Amino acid sequence: MTTTMAQALNAALRDALKDDDRVLVFGEDVGTLGGVFRVTDGITADFGEDRCFDTPLAESGIVGFAVGMAMGGFRPVVEMQFDAFAYPAFEQITSHVAKLRNRTRGALEMPMVIRVPYAGGIGGVEHHCDSSEAYYTHTPGLRVVTPGTAQDAYDLLRDAIESPDPVVFLEPKCRYWSSEEVTFTRSGPRMDQALVRRHGKDVTLIAYGPMVATALETAEAAKAEGWDVEVVDLRSLSPFDDETVTASVRRTGRAVVVHEAAGFGGYGAEVVARVTEQCFHQLHAPVLRVTGLDIPYPAPKLERHMLPDVDRILDTIARLQWDDTPVVAGA
């Protein structure tokens, strides 16, 4: 059936609640309101306040409460209402959520999901839009995933809820209302597996979350320039699927990493390093990046100037030494 990403997430939560009595959903305004983005719409009415309930406006308390529940055998799914709202809970996430299983030598699992509506594209300012993936992927002990499609929203969330490890689930806000055909079955790839969304032979675009659709749009536009573009959707940011990514880059010989987070110290730098180390002898040009600007998310009317778009990605593809001319320093 055709559904939006928000509806697919709602369906995943409902199916998880039906299948496992240990699953609980809670956070700010997730109950009666159904969440700011209506991802939890109707769940409290259908499952009761014992299974889906509102919490005080206290992110650190929400995550700390979830840690205790996970230690007690539940599978909590908590919502951080906006990406930048999650920072008060950062100490809980890095010091306890990520480390408890290691600290107890595996005696205690930490089966919890932290849902984070993230990134831009909705005209929000810095406290309501941020791309914080690098903070979480740099923290050992956390799984970090992000869907780029409605189907993946369903598949990844079901897998995340069943994982014995804590999962930071980054939901691209600008894609909540994008729709596609979705099958509500458990037939997708593994949670930690990247996918080739479009096959091509000339260059690999590596993207995730909100930039997957932009990368696919770029691949279509690139036909006019004579480039056959392959698009790889990472899906899992940590752990990283080296096998799928490097196999694609070795085939095409060129790669561009696309994300809307700031470039300096961003997640793409790690991707570039891994690809360069593993594909050096197959590369025809340096691996390049297209990222957001190194500034806080700007005012709504200026946001479009910060976010990567088709033209910026095409301009970057054009820099990939198609004539095999060596790069000259200072040129």
The token duo for 38 is 């209506």
Which stretches of the chain are DSSP H helices? 5-19, 43-47, 59-71, 90-92, 100-103, 133-137, 150-162, 211-222, 242-252, 267-279, 303-306, 310-317
Give the side-chain half-sphere CA count within 13 A for 259: 29
Token pair 């990472």 is found at 234
Give the Cα separation of 23 and 41 in Å (integer).
17
Q: Are 88 and 56 a contacting pair, CB within 8 Å?
A: no
Question: Which long-range CB contacts under 8 A does 105-110 form with residues at least 24 apart?
Answer: 108/71, 109/70, 109/164, 109/165, 110/67, 110/70, 110/71, 110/164, 110/165, 110/166
Establish whether 128 is a catalytic residue.
yes
Catalytic residue among 96, 128, 199, 305: 128
Query: Using the 8-state DSSP alphabet, how is residue 282 labeled?
Result: G
Q: Are 202 and 227 a contacting pair, CB within 8 Å?
A: yes
Write out the DSSP string of 4-46.
EHHHHHHHHHHHHHHH-TTEEEEETT-SSS--TTSTTTTHHHH
Rg over alpha carbons for the chain, rounded to the nearest Å, is 20
Query: Using the 8-state DSSP alphabet, how is residue 144 labeled?
Result: E
Token pair 């899992």 is found at 236
Q: Are 125 and 300 a contacting pair, CB within 8 Å?
A: yes
Backbone angles phi, psi at 201, to 5 degrees: -120, -10
Give the Cα separation of 170 and 224 in Å (integer).
33
For the annotated catalytic residues, the residue numbers are 128
